[in-house]
Structure 1
């Protein structure tokens, strides 16, 4: 079972990583780096079994160094804008390097981070690169049917007029007329991948039973989806009443906070429901 302390730490790590990726790619890079560092430090606060030990190993350290050098070199030579995949690749390299540090706490941080980052990267490459290579338009279809249409239905139900004008685009006629594209980070897939990565990392460290692992996985996906839907609806409301500039401000600096608050509330409700079921 996940302890309340671990659940709280998971949410904080999730919030900080989510905020860091958004800030670095679209907002303030120094603030994003600060959030990133705090998230790494929090990993050391995760409580695991006393029998859990991470042995030193040179191979992960060597591979990690290659990943970091390759990631930095690629971004410098191509002058590309840092994205979520770049950040998680760099974090994977740093985590693997930590495997050979002469400190048990740092090695534990490294193993947790490596599993989390590797899970995110695998999911990202599968759903974005592999599907695109097969000409499967999964991400656009997901954005349209699972994010755009449900969010528009909710926002219309509360009396705010929004029109769908393209697969991933809506038109909002509030204080100013604007078109909003729901795709990429707004799809919530990045957030799902990150939350799944955190759960996978913990279950690998704690050796949780397979049944519990799949339960946590399903819960993570559902909670992340509902939280992102709430975030998108919030962005619509802000755009309608306050305009494009306010919407962008919320998207970059507050969107991830809204997401994490909803995740925390949903997990609390699920915990209360499970306690009621157990008591009966």
Structure 2
């Protein structure tokens, strides 16, 4: 009975962490940076309360002063760069800082700090790696993946669905549609609306959880593919809701919904995925 209680507690905590992490990603990039940071700090605290059954082994990295120094350098370098450039912390900055802090925390002897740090290394490193590939490397190589993804995978399918509802939308650019209703406006489907940030984050969390809990490769691969598909469909639903809100209630209401509905929907979906993972174990 005690083991079952621990598993249920772990599941609830993981779902909360998923909700808070996705909320953090969206709030920092689109809404309130302060709210995003608060959500991030709460999620890190909750990570310390998760009792991973297999985290007590060798861990992701062996303890070494080198990793601690590397983590401290990453944190200092990111903060210094943002301070000198006068920019605000974005999602990539938060995840980079989380990676550096996790490297440092992983060298601590405190079991709770080590637990959250090892999980944090997985989450943040996967997010940063995917971001650098899809946003930085593709841009450097002049690979126009993001605009094509936004146009063919997000904009056109959602416009088609809205058209089937009898609500006309006019595509006026690669990532832009004109919405008519209580007021006429243009809606840009790009950047965070692509859903890639949340997808990267979910991949990192599922991958980290599977590695720490020692799930086999085939099951991990299946779950990653499943969560990507569900995350994509969820984002299409989110964009359709934005169109409908803009059509029936106007731009101000759409912007309010735009800031918050994405991470709420995604957190519910992510929670369902993690529940499915637990049920299949």
Counterpart contact for 1:23–1:31, Cα < 8 Å: yes
Alignment deviations for residues 59-118 of structure 1 (CA, whole Å, 9 cap, x no partner): 221111000000000001001232211111111111111112221111010010111100
Q: Give, in whole Å, the separation in 2 of the partners of 1:6 and 1:182.
A: 36
Alignment deviations for residues 248-270 of structure 1 (CA, whole Å, 9 cap, x no partner): 111113321122234445776x6
Q: Map 1:1-280; keep pairs closer than 5 Å.
A: 5-49=9-53, 52-53=56-57, 54=59, 56-264=63-271
Q: Give, in whole Å, the separation in 1 of the partners of 2:103 and 2:64.
A: 9
TM-score, with structure 1 as normaliser: 0.89
Alignment deviations for residues 113-134 of structure 1 (CA, whole Å, 9 cap, x no partner): 1111000011111111111122
SS in 1 for 2:87: coil
Counterpart contact for 2:54–2:213, Cα < 8 Å: no
Q: Give, in whole Å, the separation in 2 of the partners of 1:229 and 1:7.
A: 27
Residue in structure 1 matched with residue 4 of structure 2 by the alignment: none
Unaligned runs of 5+ in 1: 276-280
Residue in structure 2 matched with residue 278 of structure 1 by the alignment: none
SS in 2 for 1:100: coil
SS in 2 for 1:165: strand
Alignment deviations for residues 196-236 of structure 1 (CA, whole Å, 9 cap, x no partner): 00011112212221111101110111111111111111111
Unaligned runs of 5+ in 2: 1-6
Counterpart contact for 1:58–1:100, Cα < 8 Å: yes
Q: Give, in whole Å, the separation in 2 of the partners of 1:107 and 1:266.
A: 26
Root-mean-square deviation over aligned CA pairs:
2.2
Greater Cα offset, 26-35 or 194-203 = 26-35
Counterpart contact for 1:92–1:117, Cα < 8 Å: yes
Q: Give, in whole Å, the separation in 2 of the partners of 1:88 and 1:50.
A: 24
Alignment deviations for residues 167-186 of structure 1 (CA, whole Å, 9 cap, x no partner): 11111001111111111111
Q: Give, in whole Å, the separation in 2 of the partners of 1:173 and 1:112.
A: 46
What is the aligned residue count? Answer: 271
Alignment deviations for residues 20-40 of structure 1 (CA, whole Å, 9 cap, x no partner): 122233322222211011111
Q: Give, in whole Å, the separation in 1 of the partners of 2:70 and 2:81.
A: 16
Q: Higher RCO, 1 or 2 (CA under 8 Å, sep at least 6)? A: 2
Q: Give, in whole Å, the separation in 1 of the partners of 2:45 and 2:233.
A: 28
- Following superposition, the deviation at residue 51 of structure 1 comes to 6.6
- Following superposition, the deviation at residue 47 of structure 1 comes to 3.4
- 1:5/1:218 CA distance change after superposition, 3 Å: farther
